[in-house]
Structure 1
């Protein structure tokens, strides 16, 4: 933690957050430490993927290079665009898959949209990255399929079945990963303690695999296990053990806060689920490796909401274009079943206009916390002189000992004569059925309340009791968001 400002976010997740929240800008000084942290996770056998640090490094390089070149006319939007292009290059290089790199980078920031403005830069970056890599390592695909697959109609229902199964498994996996991450964060333990405990659990799961099958099964990235599954080299019990133990190992590794990628771990789980179905129906006459490959596409589509990248991945990494159709069917089915769930907390559903982003801001981000509240025991004349005139507001919350008891405005006072204002107190006139907001409410809900009741100010109360006054939000606060949203949330709209 000494070498990085925020060790809790890294790899692909940090690229997504930088794109949406920070205009594509990273904490560049933290990059070496985060890459070393990922290397340590992978080097010690953590159940994580190599693509995590690769995507991160690509995004950082793309962002940093364009920031330094802004004197040549590049804009803040360009910084965000080249962050995505760098991520595409990272995926392309690590998997020898340029098309996957392009499509994944364009799809991953959103669940139901694409970063279309980054298409051309991503295409160039991904292709260049691929050409440089294969000049050293050759063009052989990542996984070897024993036979060339050609689409057969009878196989397609099985691909759909795998899509359904993987979609359900992916939802359970995402839930368990999110739960582990939340418990880890709330534990209060230092990061090194949490990751050490996660590593110990991975070691135990590896020992279970060693005892049962003379193979630790869960340790490392899992490329070898995917190859075994695609080649039909595992029986049903071992495949089931791999699916269960690997799930636990991934959750323990990445849920504890360790750095590393989620892409390949999900590919392993998808291949395991597909191989399990294939092993349970040997009489179906399926082509060897078809369902593991379809499962790979399905799990990636469900986990990251990237169905097109999933289909491209299985075609490029197996060298089998025939897998695209069953892979697409499985991916689309799993994607539909997964819905708005995602392993990424930073993904957004779709691109938003500035107005939509303003309305989606939480009240806690704009409230005035230094609230001027009116006591109940002052007269209406004192209220007008000491509050309305002095502070130049037409309405105020009424509170006693920090607890909201009512609301009073100038309109409430104007119903009474000067003589009545001398003897009547705030408690006699204050509205008791007060319309309130809570810190986690959205600006949209507050605007709707203001419009319905013709209010210009609404008191904000705490989540627990609903009575303790914690702030106030006004129409002025809402209008000020137009200049605050841009630097805070990025610039997703086209105009």
Structure 2
């Protein structure tokens, strides 16, 4: 059997022999990743069906829920069992199983060298399949993005590519996974570029991503056939005046999107702080989702089939509103408590129901303008998806690819743009970046800025013996001490060694020739008592901003529990050097 090194050498020789350029080789790898992503999607789909059949359907039969009466209230036991089945997985791989994982995936791809564990593939198949298959309110799109991205990283890692190439092949895997899920190649491409690559669109990136998405869809159609996720109603636009109604719907959708983003993380924080055994929280969340499902069964499990039912038999508007609120609550509880899965499918479901309700209200209020309320459900799907994820192109093209109707693009553009504007005016961050923003990471600010925010002062500061000046040291001793030091700034400390001021060479320039004052003035009288400091947990961006505000070269690093007890020093040069090293390690431009 060929070793990895021998296999790589053989591939390199074949490249040279046939004159294959690096760009064509990347296209070949994109095709390979597209095929593998399609099989990853098949694996996740099969696992969800397996657990749905053996957990949910069998559970309904064993508990006799279909018999009605008091047995209906046994339904919550099924998703609770799903939560219990996550316990051994979470114990085996803590931090990889429970909760909504796409924000951490974004952080890894954009800031942490793109290193994804191989176990992401099977754990992101198994854990979400258990949650969704047992009736949890979650989606499969976040997991399939991670699965596809991990496949791309594995291929890149096999050839020991630099970080730029690793990130590109991760994007190929993500595009392939999403495209396979929706049978929609264009949406897969823009999902990878808008959400994963944060809008980093260039020809060198665009071409392999497109090829990976197209290959994945072709492979998926060979496996499943050319079937849509659900049948959508025929779309028709009454007149251009109706576009104003879509604009109004966009405003409503934007408000609901901001509500969902904030409420989702509010529930997540609640479960994080809840004094309850950590491993049992997903089971508790499953129990609560099941209780909601007793009265609103549509919120449970895989929702694609249920969206098709809503297109055919839309609920009356006030029931649609109740269903939207219950789905927001169920999804927030399921993933906030530690259930495994993604958010795309729940977001799409909420958008469909919300759009359907808006369409019915619009038909009642404007019967001469609105010809059919059915199209509002499809436009609502795209608009709500855009407003929650802040990915308008993905949403617009998804609405188009799901319906195949070119007429839908114009209303979708109006509702989507207005929805995202309203949502961002209320909440700047999308649901995938909200949690990262609370850590001080704003991916939209650029990878270089966030790179500085990702590096902690504790990782770069000087921890050895610090050159300090006692506050009682006289000017004469100071002038004798300074020539023997390479530093230009010195912390001044009291008799207990606690920070009391900061002294720089500039502070002494006017006193160099004042010999009569050498025995009269002490360091405390010369030092600045208002000292800018940082802690080891702050980041390079924080430190550089403080250094720039005073045009100084050094900052004392102090303890978290005592702002006068020094634990190190950090200099402007330390910050620049650490930043440059990280640029080189991650393969980012700019160095």
Normalised by the length of structure 1, the TM-score is 0.86
- Equivalent position of 2:155 in the other structure: 65
What CA deviation, in whole Å up to 9, does each residue of 1:427-484 have, x standing for no partner? 2322223344566766456546545644221334567886554543312212213433
Match of 2:471 among 376, 385, 391: 376
Verify the 8 A CA contact 1:51 1:91 in the aligned structure 2.
yes
- Equivalent position of 2:501 in the other structure: 406
Q: CA deviation at 1:262?
A: 0.9
Tell whether 2:567 aligns with 1:477: no
Judging changes above 3 Å, is the alpha-carbon distance between structure 1 residues 198 and 9 closer, same or farther for their aligned structure 2 residues? closer
SS at match of 1:406: strand
Map 1:378-457 to 2 at 5 A: 378-383=473-478, 388=482, 392-400=486-494, 401=496, 403-413=498-508, 415=511, 417=514, 420-422=517-519, 424-437=521-534, 443=540, 446-447=543-544, 449-451=546-548, 453-457=550-554
Judging changes above 3 Å, is the alpha-carbon distance between structure 1 residues 103 and 355 closer, same or farther for their aligned structure 2 residues? closer
- Equivalent position of 1:42 in the other structure: 132
Judging changes above 3 Å, is the alpha-carbon distance between structure 1 residues 353 and 91 closer, same or farther for their aligned structure 2 residues? closer
Verify the 8 A CA contact 1:206 1:219 in the aligned structure 2.
yes
What CA deviation, in whole Å up to 9, does each residue of 1:94-113 have, x standing for no partner? 11111111111111135565
Match of 1:318 among 376, 380, 403: 403
What CA deviation, in whole Å up to 9, does each residue of 1:171-223 have, x standing for no partner? 111111122333434457554222222222212211232xxxxxx22111322
- Equivalent position of 1:4 in the other structure: 93
Distance (Å, rounded) in 1 between the aligned partners of 2:461 and 2:205: 36
- Equivalent position of 1:13 in the other structure: 103
Q: In structure 2, list runs of 5 or more residues that go unmatched.
A: 1-89
- Equivalent position of 2:332 in the other structure: 251
Verify the 8 A CA contact 2:135 2:300 in the aligned structure 1.
yes
Normalised by the length of structure 2, the TM-score is 0.73
Distance (Å, rounded) in 1 between the aligned partners of 2:271 and 2:148: 28
Distance (Å, rounded) in 2 between the aligned partners of 1:60 and 1:474: 38
Tell whether 2:196 aligns with 1:109: yes
Verify the 8 A CA contact 1:13 1:344 in the aligned structure 2.
yes
Verify the 8 A CA contact 2:317 2:360 in the aligned structure 1.
yes
Verify the 8 A CA contact 2:583 2:590 in the aligned structure 1.
no
Distance (Å, rounded) in 2 between the aligned partners of 1:224 and 1:420: 87
Map 1:39-438 to 2 at 5 A: 39-70=129-160, 74-109=161-196, 114=201, 117-150=204-237, 152-187=239-274, 191-209=278-296, 216-283=297-364, 284=366, 285-339=370-424, 340-345=428-433, 348-350=442-444, 352=446, 354=448, 357-358=451-452, 363=457, 366-368=460-462, 372-383=467-478, 388=482, 392-400=486-494, 401=496, 403-413=498-508, 415=511, 417=514, 420-422=517-519, 424-437=521-534
SS at match of 1:273: helix
SS at match of 2:530: coil
Q: CA deviation at 1:233?
A: 2.6
Q: CA deviation at 1:351?
A: 7.0
SS at match of 2:340: coil
What CA deviation, in whole Å up to 9, does each residue of 1:274-319 have, x standing for no partner? 1121222333334232111111111111121111110111122233
SS at match of 2:341: coil
SS at match of 2:298: coil
Verify the 8 A CA contact 1:298 1:331 in the aligned structure 2.
yes
Distance (Å, rounded) in 2 between the aligned partners of 1:133 and 1:356: 36
Moved more, 120-129 or 413-422: 413-422
- RMSD over equivalenced CA pairs, Å: 3.2
Q: CA deviation at 1:91?
A: 0.7
Judging changes above 3 Å, is the alpha-carbon distance between structure 1 residues 436 and 377 closer, same or farther for their aligned structure 2 residues? same
Q: CA deviation at 1:374?
A: 3.4
Moved more, 332-341 or 169-178: 332-341
Moved more, 137-146 or 461-470: 461-470
Judging changes above 3 Å, is the alpha-carbon distance between structure 1 residues 98 and 359 closer, same or farther for their aligned structure 2 residues? closer
Judging changes above 3 Å, is the alpha-carbon distance between structure 1 residues 155 and 192 closer, same or farther for their aligned structure 2 residues? farther
Q: Which has the higher helix share?
A: 2
Distance (Å, rounded) in 1 between the aligned partners of 2:274 and 2:313: 42
Judging changes above 3 Å, is the alpha-carbon distance between structure 1 residues 421 and 29 closer, same or farther for their aligned structure 2 residues? farther
- Equivalent position of 2:7 in the other structure: none
